[in-house]
Structure formats: structure tokens, C-alpha cells
Structure 1
Amino acid sequence: MPSGTSVPSGTSRTGARLRLAALLTPPLLWLGLAYLGSLAVLLLSAFWTTDSFTSDVVHIWNTDNFRTLFTDPVYGTITLRTLGVAVAVTLIDALLALPMAFFMARVASEWWRRALLVAVLMPLWAGYLVKAYAWRVMLGEHGLVNAVLAPLGLTGPGYGLPAAVLVLAYLWLPYMILPVFAALERLPTPHLEASADLGAGAWRTLRLVVLPAVRPALLAGSVFTFSLSLGDYLTVQIVGGRTQLLGNVIASQVTLDLPLAAALSAVPVVLIVCYLAAVRRAGALDSL
């Protein structure tokens, strides 16, 4: 190469990407092998059976477990209920996250923005069980919720399906607020000013300017709220009363009928894969 000739920047960037890929390939391969391998073993065990007398797993290939899932109406009802809970939690979090994130990104001062961001992140520092049991105390008969509603002549939801939806919405709300906040922070201010100059009101600006800008972020946040709600089982056990969702049914079947539990586990996996495919088709995974 002649003296004074510099290496093209594109070549250096390509070399850096190759070195980064070589560095990340071994751990990614190991992670993929461990995750996909364990998932394959789980799904394979769904085709086994259980000895009715000893409850031992018998390695005989059959499709009885999946036939049970499709023919027993109980599992169909539980699946629809679980799907409804996941959708309800996602919608509640989206409705709460949008105004909260908008206030943080566009209305609050710099100091308040940082303080509110810390407030949103602080619940993530507490343990999952601590938060769930704190809600169990608040939703109890003599808990804080009933104490606040009693002067109004109202009572709290107690323990049951509404309580499970409420607690799950609280637990996963930060995962919806953060991507929406990031999207609103990137929204150019001149877009909002131009909408106001053209005579658009607040609701029209929200519908035509803000929502299209944050739609990928809402879908990206919904990946977390939907998938985490779909597979959760501890919250239902703590505040759900007698409510049965896929998560706690799978957990109860693990010690009784492992192959059936594995077949049940395939249901949320399929639902999450379908949801991810739909979100990816909408282009929202680019916002993760």
C-alpha cells in the first residue's frame, strides 16, 4: 500500500464487527444450546406417559397428553382465561404508561424527569415475592384497599381473578413505561409544534402524531407484559384465590404428571411465539 494511503473506514468497521461477532459467538451458542436444548427436552417429554399406580414417567411414545388438552374442555377454559388475563394486563399497562411516559418526557422538568424515572425503576429493585405479598396484605379483608374504599361504601376486589390482573399490571408496568418514555423522548418537538400551528387539538395531535410515533414502543413493551403475564403462576397462587391459570396448573402437575405438565407448557410457548411473530411483522422488535 502506498505511503500516506489511509485504510477505508468501512474496512475498519467491518473488522470491528467481525471481531465482535467472534467474541460473542461462543456465549451465544452456549446460551442457545442450553435454552433450546432444555426446551426440546421439555417438549419431548410431553410425548411420554405416566404410570397410574406409581406416578413414574414411562418412556412410551404417544400423543395422549395432547389429545387430553384438545378434548378436555377444562384446559380450553383455562387457556382462554390465561390469554384474557395477559391481554387485559397488557391493555391496562398501555393505558397507564402512555400518559405517565408523556408527562415524564414532555411536561416534567429535568429534575422531576429524573426523579420520576427513579420512581418507576424503584419497584424493580424489590423482590417479586415481596411485592406480591405486599399486595396480598393490602387486598385482605382488613387491608389498605378496603380501608380506603370503606368511607365510599365500596369494597376491594379481595382475592380472585380481578386481584391477579391488578397485581400483574402493577408488576409489569415499568416494562411498558420505559420503552414508551424512550420513544416520546425521541419524538421531535417541532412535530408537536407543527400540529398545534395547523390547528390540531390535543386529542387530534395525540391520535395523529403521538400514537404513530410510540406505536412500536407500545408493541415492544407489550412483548414483556404479555409474555410475563402468560407464564406467571406465583401471583395467581398468592392473590388469585381459587383462580386457575396455565402457570399454576403446570406447576401443580409437575409432581403429579410430568408429561402432561410438559404438554401444557407447550401452550404458552406457542402463544408467545405467535405473538412475537405478529409483533415482529409490525416492526416493533426494532424498538427493543
Structure 2
Amino acid sequence: MSVVAENPILARRTSTFGRLSDYFWLNPKLFLLMLLAPPLPWLGIIYLGSLFALLLQSFFSIDEFSGLINYEFTLDTYRQLLIPANFDIILRTVIMAALVTLASALIAFPIAYYAARYARGKWKALFYLAVMLPLWSSYLVKVYAWKLILAKEGILNWGFAKLHLTWLLDAWLALPVVGGNSLSISYTGTFIVFVYVWMPFMILPIQAALERVPVNLIEASADLGGNPGQTFRHVLFPLALPGIIAGSIFTFSLTLGDYIIPQIIGSSRLFIGQAVYAQQGTAGNIPLAAAFTVVPIVIMGFYLWMAKKRGAFDAL
């Protein structure tokens, strides 16, 4: 008897679906191509096509007299990004995104470390529930809830008053850049809400990276005489760095493009997302709105290139 007849796995099936299944099993590349066929047109035509159209719009300009789009290739729109008012918007957004990313990493690391090293059983399930629960509620509901919390009549001001620390809050709000009439209309309030909303996107990649750090490496560092600070600097932090960078990709990019939080909580000074909305919706200057949109794309492209070199995608 032949090997095919003796082995039911290698035996050819007579049904149409069976033969088709055998054919795809023997040709995995073709099967992969069929799986990718539906999403590839969406990605290539709709998503990348819209990005290309957006990039193309940024090389046009607006006629100052008629307000119509001049469909001639020019770099004047990009030169407008360098005027002080527009450059301040870009700089303000990048600084806020960097500060939010740094603060999120500092807060998320000890939480993720506890979950990776000490949480077991129901406590680990509770950790995941606590991290993911804010993501289940509406984005706008969370932002407006924070507006009420940070308002002058909110619970945060009430807490400062009960602790007799209102003078401290007033002193902070009196500062020229970070302050304002209340936390709900200040950069401090914008910063707090950004950190709260994007925090889960920082905790989970760090926790995943820390779980892959072998415990015996930390024990070996202690056996060789390393104190906790040295173990953190030379063992734990370098191995967790890809997870930190992976989390920063989310927090940095989401802060760069968000316009709802600065619109609801913050001062009247614009961020990039608000500038895009204002130029396209109110002013009707689509080329300038497109040029503003290209800025975070370029920044994130460079950031992703650096993150790939650091091995951050291994922790995603």
C-alpha cells in the first residue's frame, strides 16, 4: 500500500472543500494573499490615497483676494508654518505631547512593574480591569467629567479648600504659562486630562515588556553586589525601554493630533488639531490645514524610525 493511503493526513480528500483546503495547506503564501486581499485595497486606496490627496493639497495655496484655491505647485503654504503665530502652535503641541509622554511613563512604570512582578490570579485580573475600564466609557464623557472636576466649583477645588491649601492652588494658577482663571481653562488642566486619557496606552506595553524580563537577571544583579538603583539603571530599565518607547508612540501621537481636549479644557491658544479644524472649517484654508496635518505625520515618521531602531515594535 502507498504511504498516502496508509496515512489519513496525507490522503487526498474527494470533496470540493477538502481539496481546496489541501491546496491552500500546500500553498500557504497563496492563502496569505487571499486573506490580505480584502484589506489591502482599503489600506492602499482609501487610507494611503487620502493621505496622498492631503499631501497634494498642502502644495497648493489660497488666493488672498478671491479666497479660492490656486492649484499651482508652491511651497508658500509651508512657509506660512514658519511665521511666529503658526510656529508657536507647532511648538506648543510638540512640547505638550513630550511632557504628557514623559509624565505618563513616570506614572505608568511602577504600576506596570507591580502588575508584572507581584500581581497574581484575581489581582492581575483586577489590574487589567482597572486599566481597561476607562477605555470602555465615552471619550467625550470623560473629558467633560474632568472639566467639572477641574472647574472652580469642582471637587478638586473643594478638596484644596478642605485641606486649607487654596493659597497653593491660587499661586500655581497665577503663574504666567501654566496658570489661568481655573484649572479647567489652563494648560495644567489640559496636561492632567491628556495624561489621564492616554495612560492605559502607556501602562500595557510597559507591563508586557516587564513580564519578559527574567527574574533571575534581577537576582543575579543583587548577587553580584548591585544595589536596587544599579539594578534598575543597568538591568531593568534597558530591558523595559522598548516597552516604554512602544507606549510613548501611542501617547505622543495621540496628543499631537487631538483637538477635543484642548478645545474643551484649556486656554484660547491653539494646538495643531485645533488649527487644522479652524483652517479647514472656519477659515476655509484647506492648503494650510493640510500643511498643518503633514507636521505630525513627519514628526511621527521620524519618531517611529527611531523607535524601530530601539526595538520598540517587539513590545507592541
Q: TM-score, normalised by structure 2?
A: 0.83
Are residues 132 and 23 of structure 1, via their aligned partners in 2, closer, same or farther at CA, if it must alter by over 3 Å?
A: same
Whose relative contact order is higher, 1 or 2, with alpha carbons under 8 Å and at least 6 apart? 1
Partner residue of 1:105? 116
Q: What CA distance in whole angstroms lies between the structure 2 residues aligned with 1:32 and 1:93?
A: 34
Calculate the aligned-residue CA RMSD, in Å: 2.2
Are residues 138 and 101 of structure 1, via their aligned partners in 2, closer, same or farther at CA, if it must alter by over 3 Å?
A: same
Kindly name which structure, 1 or 2, has the bigger radius of gyration based on alpha carbons. 2
Q: What CA distance in whole angstroms lies between the structure 2 residues aligned with 1:13 and 1:177?
A: 39
Query: What SS does the aligned partner of 1:254 have?
Result: helix
Are residues 101 and 59 of structure 1, via their aligned partners in 2, closer, same or farther at CA, if it must alter by over 3 Å?
A: same
Partner residue of 1:163? 189
Partner residue of 2:286? 258
CA contact (8 A) 1:168 1:235 kept: yes
Are residues 223 and 14 of structure 1, via their aligned partners in 2, closer, same or farther at CA, if it must alter by over 3 Å?
A: farther
Query: What SS does the aligned partner of 2:225 have?
Result: coil
Q: TM-score, normalised by structure 1?
A: 0.90
Q: What CA distance in whole angstroms lies between the structure 2 residues aligned with 1:234 and 1:209?
A: 40
Partner residue of 1:173? 199
| Residue 229 of structure 2 is aligned to residue 203 of structure 1 | yes
Identity %: 41
Partner residue of 2:149? 138
Q: Which moved more, 1:256-265 or 1:58-67?
A: 58-67
Q: Cα offset for 1:245? A: 1.0
- Aligned AA (2:189): A
CA contact (8 A) 1:160 1:243 kept: no
| Residue 177 of structure 2 is aligned to residue 149 of structure 1 | no
Partner residue of 1:192? 218
CA contact (8 A) 2:202 2:247 kept: yes
**Correspondent of 2:55 among 29, 43, 52:** 43
Q: Cα offset for 1:250? A: 1.1
- Aligned AA (2:289): A
Are residues 14 and 184 of structure 1, via their aligned partners in 2, closer, same or farther at CA, if it must alter by over 3 Å?
A: farther
Query: What SS does the aligned partner of 2:185 have?
Result: coil
Q: Cα offset for 1:201? A: 2.2
Q: What CA distance in whole angstroms lies between the structure 2 residues aligned with 1:29 and 1:202?
A: 52
| Residue 32 of structure 2 is aligned to residue 20 of structure 1 | yes
For residues 212-256 of structure 1, give each alpha carbon's deviation from its aligned partner in whole angstroms, at most 9, with x where no partner exists: 111111111111011101111110001012131111111111021
**Correspondent of 1:80 among 84, 87, 91:** 91
Q: Cα offset for 1:107? A: 1.9
Q: What CA distance in whole angstroms lies between the structure 2 residues aligned with 1:73 and 1:91?
A: 26
Instruction: List gaps (5 residues or longer) in structure 2.
Output: 11-23, 170-181
Q: What CA distance in whole angstroms lies between the structure 2 residues aligned with 1:53 and 1:171?
A: 43
